[in-house]
Amino acid sequence: MPDPIIRTERLTKRYGRARGVDDLDLEVRPGEVFGFLGPNGAGKTTTIRLLLDFIRPTSGRAVIFGLDSRRDSRAIRRRLGYLPGELTLYESLSGVELLTYFAHLRGLRSIETGRRVAERLDCDLTREIKALSHGNRQKVGLVQALMGDPELTIFDEPTLGLDPLVQAVFFELVDELRTAGRTLFVSSHNLPEIQRICDRVGIIREGRLLAVESVSDLKRRALRRLELRFAEPVTAERFARVPGVHDLVVDGPFLSCVVTGSVDPMLRAALELRVDDVISHEPSLEEIFLAFYGTGATGGPPPESAPTPGAPGGTPGTPSEEVPHAA
C-alpha cells in the first residue's frame, strides 16, 4: 500500500479543561476522499488546525506527504488547499483580488484554475466580498481552496450555507477531483453528505476517534427511522422479530422503529396489512452513534464493553479500520 497522505500518530491536543482531541490515529490514503464525521464540537476543526500547524499538539504528531506537520509545515502548505470552517474572507477585496493575492503567496502563475472553478460554481468574482451572501462567500472559499489544483484539499464543513444546487455542483467537483487522483479530507456533521462523496469515513466524537469505516460498509448498515400508519391498529408482536428492527413503538395504528440494513423485511411485513402512510427519516448522528457504537448523547467515553475496536480505550496502534458491527 502506498504511503498515506495524512498520518496522525496519537495526536493529542488538550485545552485546559475543554476537550481537544485525544490520541488520534488516522490514515488518509492517496487518492481517496476521506470523510471526518462528528457532531459540532467533536474536535474536527481542532484536528484540521493541528494538521495545518495553526495550533501545536500537546503530544503525538501528524505527518502529511511524509513530512512533519510542524517542521515542514510550509512545504506541506505549498501542496495543500484549505477551506476553513468558519470562513472569514477579506471584506474589502473582490474575489479576483483575493485569488490574485493568494496566487502570489502560493507562487501560482495565474488564477485561471480559480476562474474555472468559480464559473462552475456560478461564483461572481468581481464583487467585493462584503457585498456577498454567506453562500457566495462560501463559493469564494471553495474557489481559493481549489485554485492551485492541490494534491490534498482539506474542507472543513464545505457545504455549510450552500444552496442545494451549488451543493450538487460541489459534489460533482469532488467526483472529478477523485477521478483526477486528488486526495480530499472533508469534515462534516452531515452523514448523507459524507456518504454521498466519501470513500472512507472517520467518526469522531468528544475528541476521540470512534471508528474508521468504508462508506460502503456504512451504507450496508444504513440506519433508517421508519414511521408507518396502518388502516387499523396493529400489535407490536407482529413486527418484533423482523430482522433489523429496533426501538419498536406501536400506538394504535401508528408504528415507529429504527431499521438497520435493508428495509425490505420490514416493508414486506408491513405490506401484509393495509398501509396508509410511510415516512422514512435520516437518522441523527447521535442515533447512529447509539446504534453502532453504543454511546449516547451525553455520556463520556463509551463503556468498555462497547463494540468499538480501534476506538477510545483501544490500545494505541490498533488499526482503526476494523468494522464494529452493530448489535
φ/ψ of residue 96, rounded to 5: -60, -45
CB of 69 to other proteins, least distance (A): 13
Asked if 225 interacts with other proteins (CB under 8 A), we say: no
Asked if 160 interacts with other proteins (CB under 8 A), we say: no
Q: Which is nearer to other proteins, 76 or 226 (CB)?
A: 76
> Taking phi first (over 0 means left), then psi (-120 to 50 degrees means alpha), and beta for anything else, what does residue 45 get?
alpha
According to CB under 8 A, which one of 29, 30, 61, 97 is a site residue for other proteins? 97
CB 253 within 8 A of CB 268: no
Give residue 96's identity as a one-letter amino acid code.
Answer: V
CB 257 within 8 A of CB 247: yes
- Cell 462567500 sits on residue: 137
Smallest Cα–Cα separation from 214: which of 43, 30, 33? 33
φ/ψ of residue 95, rounded to 5: -55, -45
Smallest Cα–Cα separation from 135: which of 127, 118, 117, 123? 123
Asked if 75 interacts with other proteins (CB under 8 A), we say: yes
Q: Rounded to an integer, what distance in angstroms lies between the CA atom of residue 146 and that of residue 169?
A: 14
Asked if 89 interacts with other proteins (CB under 8 A), we say: yes
Candidate segments 96-104, 173-181, 227-235, 257-265, binder of other proteins by CB under 8 A = 96-104
Contacts of 12 (CB under 8 A, 6+ apart): 20, 21, 22, 23, 24, 57, 58, 59, 60
Asked if 29 interacts with other proteins (CB under 8 A), we say: no
Q: Which is nearer to other proteins, 14 or 225 (CB)?
A: 14
CB of 67 to other proteins, least distance (A): 12
According to CB under 8 A, which one of 138, 144, 187, 260 is a site residue for other proteins? 144
How many amino acids of this chain bind other proteins (CB under 8 A)?
A: 31
Asked if 74 interacts with other proteins (CB under 8 A), we say: yes
Q: Which is nearer to other proteins, 20 or 202 (CB)?
A: 20
According to CB under 8 A, which one of 84, 158, 207, 294 is a site residue for other proteins? 84
Candidate segments 34-42, 79-87, 240-248, 258-266, binder of other proteins by CB under 8 A = 79-87
Q: Rounded to an integer, what distance in angstroms lies between the CA atom of residue 181 and that of residue 64?
A: 16
Q: Which three cell numbers stand for residue 258?
A: 429504527
According to CB under 8 A, which one of 2, 88, 126, 305 is a site residue for other proteins? 88
Q: Which is nearer to other proteins, 107 or 192 (CB)?
A: 107
User: What is the dihedral sign for C-alpha 290, 44, 115, 64?
Assistant: negative
CB of 73 to other proteins, least distance (A): 8
One symbol per residue from 53 to 72: x for binding other proteins (CB under 8 A), - otherwise; what is it? -xxx----------------
Asked if 151 interacts with other proteins (CB under 8 A), we say: no
Widest CA span of the chain, in angstroms?
Answer: 70
Q: How far is CA 76 from CA 153, 171, 287, in A?
A: 11, 25, 37
Candidate segments 21-29, 86-94, 195-203, 311-319, binder of other proteins by CB under 8 A = 86-94
Q: Which residues form the interface with other proteins (CB under 8 A)? A: 45, 49, 52, 54-56, 74-75, 77-78, 80-82, 84, 86-90, 92-93, 97, 100-102, 104-107, 141, 144
